[in-house]
């Protein structure tokens, strides 16, 4: 099936394409401007993006939204993960703010999870929705050079003590929130 990618994030688009290998993934239309992610939930933001791309491309569109939920910060940054340090913050600025906010949190209380909601919207209005969650903790400092966003400080429970940024992409995709959501979505698309 041909799916148009809603994400303009090259790292994320690459990860998604690696998982949805049975489908032809088209890039986000250049004609589409920025989509303001102003919904209160990850699902709302994913649907907003997929709907906008579907309308522009007149083709099924795939989008996701991901949030890092840190227990010591009452679930923040959550739906604002990409804008935690401000609306135009870089990955580095978001990461720095999170680590600063976590400075006084002891190692045993640094639990967190990544949550992804993936959505495909079809031109006829039909939707497919999949979820993926991975539990873990926040390291005290960045480790590794792979991945993007908060990957260098997120240590998944199933990762043997490595951050996502320290793992090869194949290993990360096997256990990651995004990998889980998009594998589930791929099963739905193949039915």
Active site residues: 65
φ/ψ bin of 85: left (φ > 0), alpha (ψ from -120 to 50), beta (otherwise)? alpha
Report how far apart, in Å, the C-alpha atoms of 108 and of each of 1, 71, 135, 146, 164 are. Answer: 45, 11, 14, 25, 19
Task: Give the residue from 112, 144, 133, 120 showing the smallest Cα distance to 47.
Answer: 120
- Say if residue 136 is exposed, middle or buried (CB neighbours under 10 Å; 0-12, 13-18, 19+): buried
Q: Which residues pair with 128 in a beta bridge?
A: 120
């Amino acid at each position: 099936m041909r799916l148009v990618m809603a994400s303009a994030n090259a790292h994320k688009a690459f990860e998604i394409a690696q998982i949805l290998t049975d489908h032809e993934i088209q890039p986000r239309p250049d004609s589409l401007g920025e989509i303001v992610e102003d919904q209160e939930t990850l699902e709302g933001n994913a649907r907003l993006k997929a709907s906008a791309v579907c309308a522009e491309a007149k083709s099924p569109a795939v989008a996701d939204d991901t949030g890092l939920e840190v227990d010591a910060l009452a679930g923040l940054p959550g739906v604002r993960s990409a804008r935690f340090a401000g609306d135009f913050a870089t990955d580095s600025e978001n990461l720095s703010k999170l680590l600063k906010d976590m400075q006084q949190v002891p190692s045993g209380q640094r639990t967190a999870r990544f949550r992804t909601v993936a959505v495909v919207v079809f031109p006829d209005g039909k939707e497919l929705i999949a979820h993926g969650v991975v539990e873990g903790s926040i390291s005290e400092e960045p480790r590794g050079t792979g991945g993007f966003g908060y990957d260098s400080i997120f240590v998944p429970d199933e990762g043997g003590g490595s951050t996502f940024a320290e793992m090869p992409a194949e290993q990360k995709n096997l256990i990651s929130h995004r990998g889980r959501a998009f594998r589930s979505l791929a099963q739905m698309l193949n039915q």
